Amino acid sequence: MKSIAELQAIRDQARAKIAMREGSHEGTRIVVGMATCGIAAGARPVLNAFVEEIAKRNIQNVSVVQTGCIGMCQFEPIVEVLAPGKEKVTYGLMDAEKAVRVVTDHIVNGNPVAEYTVAKLMK
């Protein structure tokens, strides 16, 4: 059973991790479209897959944030990856499996997954 005592221990460990991260370089942002269109198309499992995969791999300095509707509802769930110093990559028709591949290929190894991009989907 999850307990408050457990949460206190997590807090103390998290403090050490946060202190380690401080002062390190600006990180990558993963932006998930969470407007009505995104949610209806399946943004929630995509978001939760990104969050879980990043936690599982203990990747630091990556933030997962939400945005509204960017006007391409037919390609939702849409995810943008903004890495510092790199061009923005916009993925469309995402699902939880694709999210895991984006983490491994793009976030970890720096190779955007061309076949999932909106640019590719529009062709």
Partner 1 sequence: MRELSLNVLDIAQNSISAGASLVTLSVCEDTANDWLTLTIADNGRGMTPEQLDRVRDPFYTTRTTRKVGMGIPLFRMAAEMAGGGLTIESVVGVGTTVTATFCLSHIDRMPLGDMAGTVSALIRLNPQLDFLYRHEVDGNVFELDTRALREVLEDVPLCEPDVMEWINGTLAEGLLPLNSQA
Contacts of range 47-50, beta carbons closer than 8 Å, 24 or more positions apart: 48/96, 49/96, 49/97, 49/99, 49/100, 50/79, 50/99, 50/102, 50/103
**Which of 28, 30, 33, 54 contacts partner 1 by CB under 8 A?**
54
Indicate whether 51 belongs to the interface with partner 1 (CB under 8 A).
yes
**Which of 69, 70, 72, 93 contacts partner 1 by CB under 8 A?**
69
Indicate whether 2 belongs to the interface with partner 1 (CB under 8 A).
yes
**Which of 55, 85, 87, 123 contacts partner 1 by CB under 8 A?**
55
Residue of 29, 22, 87, 20 lying closest to 63 (CA atoms): 29
CA Rg value for the chain: 16
Residue with token string 């983490």: 103
Task: Give dist(CA 105, CA 2) in Å, integer.
Answer: 34
How many residues touch partner 1 under the rule CB under 8 A: the total is 32
Q: Residue 1 has which token pair?
A: 């059973």
Point out which span in 10-18, 78-86, 101-109, 114-122 binds partner 1 (CB under 8 A).
10-18
Task: State the residues that interact with partner 1 by CB under 8 A.
Answer: 1-2, 4, 6-8, 10-11, 13-15, 17-18, 34-37, 39-40, 44-45, 47-48, 51, 54-55, 58, 64-66, 68-69
